[in-house]
Amino acid sequence: MAEDLLITRMTSDDIDDVVLLDRSIFYDPWARTSFSGSLKKDTCLILRRDGELEGYAIFSSIFDEGELLRIAVNPLSRRKGYATMLMNELSKLGRERNIEHWFLEVRAGNLGAIKLYEKFGFIMMGRRKGYYTAPNGREDAITMHAYRKK
Ligand SMILES: CC(=O)SCCNC(=O)CCNC(=O)[C@H](O)C(C)(C)COP(=O)(O)OP(=O)(O)OC[C@H]1O[C@@H](n2cnc3c(N)ncnc32)[C@H](O)[C@@H]1OP(=O)(O)O
């Protein structure tokens, strides 16, 4: 049977699932209130396979700038192109809103995510020393930028 793979806008009905997945993935998970706040002001997408939450992505935008705030995929479902699907959808929405400059921050040691972003044209812009808490102290943030011509 063909699997049902769907990217939709996140709604308040999805938040329980998103919070659970976020907590299972991140060392510094977002509070529930951060997700409900994002629902009001940002663009929040989810990817479900056969109804199960497999990933989500959130970006904020102002004028011609967009910032990728969060993207994550269920650890059991990685390297199947789900983050790529979410990034493609973000790019499409960004084009519709004339976003030319994309920004993001990522842990310096998160080489998988950095590779994904490079595939989407992001390049390293800077480094914030000790920006994140980490199990054994602090970890630098890499800031990245991508330019998309209108
Ligand atoms: C702004 C922020 O949110 S920063 C935080 C980013 N999120 C996280 O770190 C959460 C934990 N990680 C994840 O959820 C996932 O590993 C993600 C979101 C980084 C990638 O999700 P996936 O669905 O596995 O990515 P996808 O399958 O689309 O991979 C696309 C490409 O990215 C690169 N990539 C993805 N993961 C990895 C990895 N672990 N190692 C090396 N390259 C990787 C590869 O080039 C891959 O293409 P390939 O599989 O053909 O080689």
Domain architecture of the chain: domains with CATH: 5-147 (3.40.630.30)
Is 79 close to ligand 1, i.e. is its CB under 6 Å away? yes
Separation CA 121–CA 60 (nearest Å) = 19
ipTM > 0.95 for the complex: yes
Is 25 close to ligand 1, i.e. is its CB under 6 Å away? yes
Separation CA 133–CA 137 (nearest Å) = 6
Separation CA 20–CA 14 (nearest Å) = 10
Q: Which residues, at least 6 apart from 29, have a Cβ–Cβ distance to it below 8 Å? A: 19, 22, 23
Residue 116 CA: nearest ligand 1 atom is 32
- Atom 39 (ligand 1) nearest CA: 112
**Predicted confidence (pLDDT) per residue in 13-58, tens digit:** 999 999 999 999 999 999 999 999 999 999 999 999 999 999 999 9
